[in-house]
Amino acid sequence: MASNPGSGTPSKQLLHLVFGGELKDLEGNEFVDLKALDIVGIFPNYAEAAKAWRAAAQRTVDQAQTRYFVVHMHRLLEPADDEKPVKRTPAMKARPLLAKPKPKAKPAARKAPRRASPKAREST
């Protein structure tokens, strides 16, 4: 186990993989050439992975089809231990999600109450 700097207490190692490449379609996550993927590295925590992801994304800012991803390897290795959701950083919030959002259901149109026909009004 690694330790938190300055605290002397052991911290859990949370591995993260950063990689990227040219996508076939910006709406998906299928790469043009798997052999040309850029494996940036494996990092011991999310903060370092996010820093590497940001640097790699900045290097390719002029290549619109190129995207980089952070994979939470610790979730794949020990999924039961990860119960807390990951807080999205401002940089992550600014980027669109890869999956297409589900269309929102349209609210049902409000119908005006039915008025009784003249014959029905006469019988009451």
pLDDT at position 64 is 87
pLDDT at position 77 is 83
| Helix (H), strand (E) counts: the chain | 4, 5
pLDDT at position 68 is 93
Could you state, in chain order, the average pLDDT of each consecutive group of 10 residues for the chain (124 residues)?
Answer: 51 88 89 93 94 93 90 83 58 51 63 65 60
Instruction: Name 110's Cβ contacts closer than 8 Å, sequence gap at least 6.
Output: none
Task: Give residue limits of the domains in the chain.
Answer: 2-100
pLDDT at position 70 is 93
pLDDT at position 111 is 65
Q: What kind of fold does domain 2-100 have according to CATH?
A: Alpha-Beta Plaits (3.30.70)
Q: Looking at the DSSP assignment, which residues form a beta bridge with residue 66?
A: 22
